Structure 1
């Protein structure tokens, strides 16, 4: 089983939104073979609590524009690791320190990655 087309659409929109707020190390994994509850994870990092919150706000705004509403949101109060569950995808926005400590990409390395558009992976201004 692979992620649905709708899940990939949401992944791309979430990754673009995170990139727009200068998130770093944006990755997406197809976890549909491993988890029955979701198709994909998006992981992104922010350099400060304020940036993490800005990334989360932008992801929610952009996904709302394409008709997706979060089922659940966790960790928003602390701003260190915010999880936004959309059912089909789960977006993890982590402070850089939490990202290094928890290393989610290491935990999910056996899952295939979902290719993101070049403007997402290139970072701001094509850097």
Structure 2
């Protein structure tokens, strides 16, 4: 089973929201980056929060059948990058989100409106 990028974004956004993520932004980066369709950027308010958000997003997508290709930074709790192929999820602590400024770096990319839904809804329907 493969899920569309929008379905993956929806599952990831719901998982991030469940664990207290803030300032979620989904960007269509398919034009400048031919190897990935979308970025999901979210903020956690603490190191523990960043780690929990990253873990929940990864678990939710894995449970939906989407394999994690690469994972970086989660252990330190300041930022995490989760690569699922078509989707890359960036979870930042507030300070790192400001420092790396991916929102600004990719500001010419279209924002994707993501319907937030649980993985169970996707697999059941």
Structure 2 distance, partners of 1:46, 1:33, is 28
* Distance apart, 1:16 and its partner CA: 0.8
| TM-score between both structures, scaled by the size of structure 2 | 0.87
**Matched length:** 115
Structure 2 distance, partners of 1:47, 1:22, is 8
Which deviates further from its counterpart, 24-33 or 56-65? 56-65
CA-based RMSD: 1.4
For structure 1, which runs of at least 5 residues remain unmatched after alignment?
120-127
Structure 2 distance, partners of 1:50, 1:35, is 31
Specify the SS of the correspondent of 2:75: coil
Match of 1:37 among 35, 38, 41: 35
| TM-score between both structures, scaled by the size of structure 1 | 0.86
Q: Which aligned runs of 4 or more in structure 1 are off by greater than 6 angstroms? A: none
Structure 1 distance, partners of 2:63, 2:116, is 22
